[in-house]
């Protein structure tokens, strides 16, 4: 079953087309990485799919709900972990999680129970009472992803989840993301090609607002006639094939 | 329920900032102490009544409320300028719930600030009367006015600019043009006319008349404040709703 289906999804700003006729299908439970250089249209695609901006034309359905006509329903089933760490700085880890559960409509008791569950899942017991602003970058990012998951979304958008983290924190977060595979549909945007290669079921490469190619990492390497994924990305995104 | 959850988060964000305590409560109290000390040094025969406690406390309480604008604006602009707002925008919260969630925590905070000011004034000679309760109540439209100014500034400016506009400009404007620190009639001319067209002096006068028990004069002063509060609230809500769409 499809979790996401876009049909000729297009976004224009005045005479500049940022995303053009995007036809994309993502299966339920799949981890799909969207790659592209800066300005390729990844973030705009994520913003349209998460109902932050309206497409100029075309449509997308998320679990059969249109982003244009059913945006309220879409917002109930998705969650976004934005590129920068987005936590409430003066709230503790526990309070941040309970806050997000609350605005997604969970009762106080449910929010507390969900919070404990997600704290255990993300090994955050030792920092649960620490204020978010006092946490390291790695912990803040982990909290940010946990906040995106507490509302029990069917689809989650992880926008550059490991950007700016050191290698250890990045690997640590990868483990957390890997645990989610198969349970919910994940759309991941990243500049770290090895991240996309090792974590994703399928990868889409965008350039100049167009989806240039998609498939597994092996399929993309085969398409670009190379054994190196970075080289494959350069050839596909750089219009060499 | 969602509004209350958001309001609760905003309350924690504001009250856990040490500057809230310093500027919201301590600074007005320090001013009260200093100006009362100045007043006690003025000879009785000098006829200087501006710093007498019944004149002073309504002015200080209005001046203190200008910091409420700063707290509101800082919170809104910080949320806007970080990706935290993206997380909120992809949640089921609606425009009206954002505005209510930002506004609700500031009302009890403002009331607390005013009440602390009046309680402290007992130490400087304020005598208890029911008029004090009336003076506190007539500050409510002023509270709404300053919250709306904060919401508007937080929506339009980034967090750095907010410090300048609300932290410096608004606090100074509300101080100079309110008749708290000096008698506006003594300056006269355009300065007095401008001050008279703005709400600050009327907010202070309404509090003073309430304390004096000159009830018939309150309404005229309060209408200025209510008018400004209504207009700025409507503008703030419209600009906030517009910017919500833009910021995405």
Answer whether residue A107 is part of any domain: no
Please classify residue A183 by burial: count the beta carbons closer than 10 Å to its beta carbon, then call 0-12 exposed, 13-18 middle and 19+ buried. Answer: exposed
- Cα distance between residue A166 and residue B114, in whole Å: 49
A215 has a chain B CB within 8 A of its CB? no
Instruction: Tell me the sheet residues that pair with A10.
Output: A57
The angle at the Cα of B209, spanning B203 to B212, to the nearest 5 degrees, equals 145
- Spell out which chain B residues touch chain A, with contact meaning CB-CB distance below 8 angstroms: 1-2, 5-6, 8-9, 12-13, 16-17, 82-84, 86-93, 248
Contact status of A174 with chain B (Cβ, < 8 Å): no
Question: For the domain that residue A229 is a member of, what is the CATH number?
Answer: 3.40.50.300
Instruction: Answer yes or no: pTM beyond 0.90.
Output: no
What residues make up the domain containing A24? 2-83+153-237
Q: What is the DSSP letter of A182?
A: T
pLDDT score of B46: 67
Q: Does A103 contact B at CB distance below 8 Å?
A: yes
Q: How many domains would you assign to chain A? A: 1
Minimal Cα–Cα distance from B2 to chain A, Å?
5
SS3 content of chain B, % helix, strand, coil (to 5): 85, 0, 15
- Testing the interface with A: which of B4, B5, B101 to mutate, by most A Cβ within 10 A? B5
Is B17 in contact with A90 (Cβ distance < 8 A)? yes
Optimal mutation site among A70, A78, A87, A88, interface B, most CBs of chain B within 10 A: A88
Give me the pLDDT at residue B85, please: 85
Stretch (H or E) spanning A81: strand A78-81
CA separation, residue B84 to residues A87, A114, B76, B156 (Å):
6, 21, 11, 17
In what helix (H) or strand (E) does residue A27 lie, and over which residues does it extend?
strand A16-27
Q: Flag if B82 and A86 touch (Cβ within 8 Å).
A: yes
CA distance A87 to A132: 7
For residue A166, being part of any structural domain is answered with: yes
pLDDT in tens, B100-128: 999 999 999 999 999 999 999 999 889 99
Higher pLDDT, A206 or A1: A206
The tally of domains found in chain B comes to 1
Is residue A36 domain-resident? yes
Q: At B215, is the secondary structure helix, strand, or coil?
A: helix
Q: Residue B229: name the closest of B6, B5, B33, B68 by CA.
A: B68
Distance of alpha carbon A140 from alpha carbon A134, whole angstroms: 9
Q: Is A99 on the interface with B (CB under 8 A)?
A: yes
Q: What is the C-alpha to C-alpha distance for residues B27 and A9, in angstroms, rounded to an integer?
A: 55
**What is the residue-wise DSSP string for B102-129?**
HHTTHHHHHHHHHHHHHHHHGGGTPPP-
Phi and psi, residue A27, nearest 5°: -80, 155
pLDDT per position as a tens digit, A198-209: 889 999 999 999
DSSP B216: G
**Residue numbers of the domain that contains B92:** 2-247
Parallel, antiparallel, or unpaired: how do β-strands A16-27 and A31-36 relate? unpaired
Contact yes or no for A92/A131 (Cβ under 8 A): yes
Residue in A81, A84, A95 closest to B82 by CB: A84
Measured between beta carbons, which residues in chain A are less than 8 angstroms from residue B94? none
In a domain, A120, yes or no: no
Answer whether residue A119 is part of any domain. no
Task: Provide the residue-wise pLDDT of chain B in tens; the chain has 248 residues.
Answer: 889 999 999 999 999 988 887 888 888 888 888 888 887 887 777 667 777 888 899 999 999 999 999 999 999 998 888 888 888 888 888 888 888 999 999 999 999 999 999 999 999 889 999 999 999 999 999 999 999 999 999 999 988 888 888 778 888 888 889 888 888 888 888 999 999 999 999 999 999 999 999 999 999 999 999 999 999 999 999 998 888 776 55
Q: Which among B1, B9, B92 has the least Cβ separation from residue A99?
A: B9
pLDDT attached to residue A240:
66
Structure confidence at residue A50 as a pLDDT band (50, 70, 90): very high
Beta carbons of B92 and A85 less than 8 Å apart: no
- Is residue A140 in some structural domain? no
């Amino acid at each position: 079953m499809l979790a996401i289906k876009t049909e000729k999804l297009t976004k224009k700003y005045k005479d500049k087309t940022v995303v053009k006729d995007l036809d994309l299908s993502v299966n339920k439970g799949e981890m799909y990485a969207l790659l592209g250089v800066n300005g390729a249209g990844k973030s705009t695609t994520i913003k349209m799919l998460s109902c932050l901006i309206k497409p100029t034309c075309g449509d997308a359905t998320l679990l059969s709900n249109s982003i244009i006509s059913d945006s309220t329903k879409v917002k109930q089933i998705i969650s976004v972990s934005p590129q920068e760490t987005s936590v409430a700085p003066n709230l503790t880890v526990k309070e941040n999680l309970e806050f997000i559960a609350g605005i997604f409509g969970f009762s106080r008791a449910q929010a507390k129970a969900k919070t404990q569950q997600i704290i255990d899942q993300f090994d955050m017991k030792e920092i649960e009472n620490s204020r978010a602003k006092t946490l390291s970058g790695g912990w803040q990012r982990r909290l940010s992803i946990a906040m995106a998951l507490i509302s029990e979304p069917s689809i989650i958008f992880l926008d550059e989840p490991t950007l700016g983290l050191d290698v250890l924190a990045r690997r640590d977060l990868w483990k957390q993301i890997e645990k989610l595979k198969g349970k919910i549909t994940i759309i991941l945007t990243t500049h770290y090609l090895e991240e996309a290669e090792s974590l994703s079921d399928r990868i889409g490469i965008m350039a100049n607002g167009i989806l240039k190619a998609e498939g597994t990492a092996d399929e993309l390497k085969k398409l670009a006639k190379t054994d190196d994924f970075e080289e494959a990305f350069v050839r596909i995104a750089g219009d060499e094939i | 329920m969602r509004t209350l959850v958001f309001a609760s988060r905003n309350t924690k964000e504001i009250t856990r900032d040490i500057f809230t305590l310093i500027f919201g409560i301590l600074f007005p109290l320090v001013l009260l102490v200093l100006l009362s000390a100045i007043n006690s040094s003025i000879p009785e025969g000098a006829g200087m009544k501006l710093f007498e406690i019944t004149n002073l406390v309504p002015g200080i309480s209005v001046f203190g409320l200008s910091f409420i604008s700063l707290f509101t604006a800082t919170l809104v602009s910080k949320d806007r300028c970080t990706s935290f707002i993206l997380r909120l925008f992809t949640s089921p919260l609606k425009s009206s719930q954002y505005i209510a969630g930002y506004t609700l925590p500031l009302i009890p905070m403002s009331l607390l600030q005013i009440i602390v000011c009046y309680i402290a004034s007992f130490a400087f000679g304020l005598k208890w009367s029911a008029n004090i309760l009336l003076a506190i109540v007539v500050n409510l439209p002023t509270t709404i006015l300053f919250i709306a100014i904060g919401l508007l500034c937080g929506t339009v400016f980034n967090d750095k600019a907010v410090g300048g506009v609300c932290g410096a400009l608004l606090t100074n404007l509300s101080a100079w043009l309110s008749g708290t620190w000096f008698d506006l009639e003594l300056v006269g001319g355009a300065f007095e006319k401008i001050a008279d067209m703005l709400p600050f002096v009327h907010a202070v006068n309404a509090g003073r008349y309430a304390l004096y028990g000159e009830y018939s004069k309150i309404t005229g002063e309060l209408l200025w404040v209510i008018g400004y509060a209504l207009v700025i609230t409507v503008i703030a809500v419209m600009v906030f709703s517009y910017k919500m769409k833009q910021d995405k």
